[in-house]
Structure 1
Amino acid sequence: MADFYPILARAIAGLPDKSPEARRAVYDRARTALVAQLRSLDPPLGEAEIMRERLSLDEAVSRVEADRRPGGARRQPQPAGPSTAPHPRHPLSST
């Protein structure tokens, strides 16, 4: 399975217009090119393998997009807030 992240990250970084539409166009071209290349292999790949490669590409797209958000992909998960579970009305008996 190829690592698409570096390729996509470079392509997006090199865009003069980094708008969502421009990024989406890069991702769409990458998906189209990937599927065309995989379908042209001899011997041909099975649909399951093509789907795995497409999912790998989609994961790379998600990583590139996460990098664009404030804080980037290295953003730490937010700690969970206090539990919203209701407290029992009566304490449990210790007997």
Structure 2
Amino acid sequence: MITTVYGTWNRIESLSLSVEQSVADYLGDFVDDYDFAAVVGDYRAAINGALPDSVVLSGDEFIGPYDAADRDFDGWPVDEDGRLDLKAIVDGVDLDEIANRHDKTI
């Protein structure tokens, strides 16, 4: 299967260039209260789990099948252009719940 880039992380959060930056911004002044690497790792895993099987978040890029015949996105949210709505999928992942699992102050 030939793959292509569907978009980079800044399609999800326009002011952030990476998942790590988004997590750091989310935790803000309390970043040291969390196991940062664990939060980032679990967030990435949750995002990948929420994506269709043929699409992955690799680094800061979403990669999926190039050929339309290899895309089975029925039932997945799409944007106004009919493309997979990556933002809607990522927005469905609960970063707060993930961060709370790795709160070192509890």
- TM-score where L is the length of structure 2: 0.32
Q: Which of the pair has more CA radius of gyration?
A: 1
- TM-score where L is the length of structure 1: 0.34
